[in-house]
Structures are given as C-alpha cells and as structure tokens.
Structure 1
Amino acid sequence: MILHCLFRGATLSLSCIILAGGKGLRLGRDKALEKINSLTLVQHSVTTLRGLGEQIIVVTAPGKTDLGLEDFPEVRVVEDRDTGKGPLMGIYAGLSASKSELNLVVACDMPFLNLELIRFMVSQSEGWDAVIPRVGGLIEPLHAVYRRNIKEVAAELMAGGAYSLRQLLNKVRVRFIEETEIGLYDPQNLSFFNINFPEDLEKARELFRQRSS
C-alpha cells in the first residue's frame, strides 16, 4: 500500500517493523506474548498496523519465532543476527528485510499506537533520515520512522562494536516531532505508553476496559 502524504503532496512507500526480540527482564517474562483482552501485545501491534504500509515485519530473537502469528499470513518474521545487542540490531534486521524506502519502527510493547500521529510523522520525512518524537526532553527512537539507507550506518557502527541508538542518530539527519505537534494527534501521549513492569500491564488492561465501556 502507498501512503499519500497530505502535508507535502508526496507519495511514499512505507513498511512497518515491530521489534519483538526483547527478553522482558523487568516484566519477568516475554512481554510480546502477554495478553490484553484476547490479543497478545505483538498481535495488538500487527492488528493496528494492518493496511498501513506495504508490509509488516516482526523482528525477534534467534530461535524465538513462535509468536502466535499464524493468523496473520501477511506478516514476515525475521530473526536478529545475535542476542543481547539491543534494539539497534533489531532495527538493522528489520531494515535489511524491508522493501520500502520509509519504515515505521515500533516496539511490540506499545499497545496504544496512534495511526494519525504515525501518518503525520511519515508526512514529515522528506529530507530526513529519521523522524523521532521527543516527549519531556526524551526521544522515542522505538516509535520512529527511518529511511532504509541508515542500515548502512548501523552496520558500520555494529562492526566497530557500537550498539547505541544515540550514536546512530548522531550520524544521520533527524527531524524531531515536538510535544506541541504530538498533542494535535495524541494529547495524552498514550502512543509512548510501554510495558516494562507488571503494573504497566495492569494499567494497560484497565485503559482498554475504559475504552470499551
């Protein structure tokens, strides 16, 4: 599917990359398979992003391919090259599998993705290698849009033993999406609510209950 960007009149291709390879150490179990209502967190992400772009890629740890995605035949599951190296390697694996110039990258533990905010971010990508929200002075590199060509920069960093996302961003052109812009689409900043601890999971379940009541 091709996204028509209303803000600049451009037509851009997009793929969606979901990172699901984390160990969930703070939660104490694999967060990708935790359920809210009847869907796991990774299934929530896939369901929300279905139809947004040309393809959906789920990046997981080596050998961790049983993600309950059999009912989503359009999803391509790819494995990291190595474990314990952090999200930069996951982003690299996803970009390497992508066939699109632009790529949305999200962590699988963000159950409140906002499609209008995502479309706005994509519309701001012209002339930039990455489009990243900034909330409370903190950046959100795992809710961002990346050009596929930054995988070459990532490869160079990792070849030198560097796995920091900040090091990557220091080497590419970044458009930061500020809170005033985010607030037009997601005034509560729920897009960036992620699951780290059991209490986060319970809060997310309660928010879903409130939305459905």
Structure 2
Amino acid sequence: MKTAGILLAGGASTRFGSPKAFAIWNEKYFYEWALAALQSVCQEVAIVTRAELVKNFPTNLHVITDDEAFLGMGPLAGIYSGMQQVDADQYFVLPCDMPNITGEILETLYDCPFQGDVMAVQTQDTYHPLVSIWQNELKNKLFLELRENCRSVMRFLAKVETTWVDGTLLVPNSANMFQNMNRPEWK
C-alpha cells in the first residue's frame, strides 16, 4: 500500500503577515519540519502551494499548485490537488504551520487502528483535521464538494466516515505539539 504525503503550504497567511512556509523556527523553515515528518512515513511527498511561492522551494522537491478549477479554495483544494497529482492508496496530510509535529508522532498515528475514510487528530476540545490520513477513494467526493464551492474541511469530514484519534495517545503534551503558528508572535 502506497502512502503519499500532502504538505499544505499555500495558505494566505493573513494573520501571520508573510508566507508561513518560509518562517524560521529552530534554524529551519516551517515547511522543512513538516517535510521531514512526512518523509518518515511516506514514499513520496507533494508540497501544495500558491503559484507565486513555487520558485522559493528547492527544485529537487515535488512542488505543485492547486488544480486550476479550484485555485484559492483552501485546504480541501490542496488535498484534492495532491491526490490528483500523486497516485497513492492513502495520503498523509500535514500543514506547514505545525513545526512541533515529528516523524515519531506521525508514525504513531499511522499505526493506530483505522477504518473509514479519514483518520484525524483531536486534542481536548480542539480538532486538527489537517493532521490526518485520507483514503484515495475520497478523491471523487472531494471533487464534488469543491465543485459545489464547499470549502470547509470540518463539514466535509462530517459527511464521510472520520475516525478521531486522541492526541494524548500520540504524544503526552499533545495540546502544545499540535498547536499551529498563526501569528508572528509565536516566536
């Protein structure tokens, strides 16, 4: 079974003020932390970003943009675009703005019992739908959702069979580990 990674690195970063993928944390870009984590569990990783950011990534990486029909439609479009361009049985999705996520955490998630369409992480009262594994069979449903201009990841996950994994099973200090960096003052 082939597992591919989809690294979401194309958000508008409005609150952050600059592209989060290229923010530096512990001497590495945010996207480099996510890429290393995904590479530990995936045979191939695609970085999905905006067209104007493609040139900022090293040329040896598989960098793609959203499907033309769904440009600028958020994470669901990024996930669909990754599924369209990389053939796999399942997809490990990770946003670029969670630099605390490690390969060990993803390996533990990967080893959790999983039935259904999507397996994602929940910590206390917070859902993390973009730290998740998606089955390839969802590609057509994603297409139909996007075609109807539906962009909400949580609404989509409510329509499919989603397994929520308790983050404390993956790492004891899960609330901090799954925190995304939305503002520049995170430093």
Structure 1 length normalisation: TM-score?
0.79
Q: 1:19 to 1:125 in 2, by over 3 A?
A: farther
Q: Which residue of 1 aligns with 2:45?
A: 56
**Identity of aligned pairs, percent?**
24
The equivalent position to 1:156 in structure 2, one of 128, 144, 159, is: 144
The alignment yields a C-alpha RMSD, in angstroms, of 1.8
Deviation at 1:126, TM superposition (A): 4.0
1:109 aligns with 2:94: no
Q: Within 2, Cα distance between the matches of 1:167 and 1:49? A: 25
Deviations 1:125-171 (A, max 9, x none): 64311001112222111111111221211110111121111231122
Runs of 4+ residues over 4 Å off in structure 1: none
Paired residue type of 2:105: L
Answer with 1 or 2: which has the greater Rg.
1
* Aligned pairs, number: 184
Which residue is 2:79 aligned to?
91
Q: Secondary structure at the match of 1:194?
A: coil
Q: Aligned partners of 2:36, 2:119: CA distance in 1, in Å?
A: 23
What TM-score does the superposition give when structure 2 sets the normalisation length? 0.89
Unaligned runs of 5+ in 1: 1-11, 203-213
| Higher RCO, 1 vs 2 (CA within 8 Å, ≥6 residues apart) | 2
Are residues 1:195 and 2:181 paired? yes
Structure 2: gaps of 5 or more residues: none
Q: Is it true that 1:183 corresponds to 2:168 in the alignment? A: yes
In the alignment, which residue of structure 2 is the partner of 1:36? Answer: 25
The answer to whether the 8 A contact 1:153-1:171 is kept is no
* Gap change, CA 1:60 and 1:169, over 3 Å in 2: same
Distance in 1 (alpha carbons) for counterparts of 2:4 and 2:74: 21
**Contact persistence 2:41–2:106 (CA under 8 A):** no
More helix by share: 2
Provide Cα deviations, 1:76-132, integer angstroms capped at 9, x if missing partner. Answer: 111013443111111111111222111110100110113233223223364311001
Three-state SS of the structure 2 residue aligned to 1:170 is helix
Pairing partner for 2:64 from 66, 69, 78:
78
Instruction: Report the CA distance between 1:56 and its aligned residue.
Output: 0.8
Q: Aligned-pair distance for 1:15?
A: 1.0
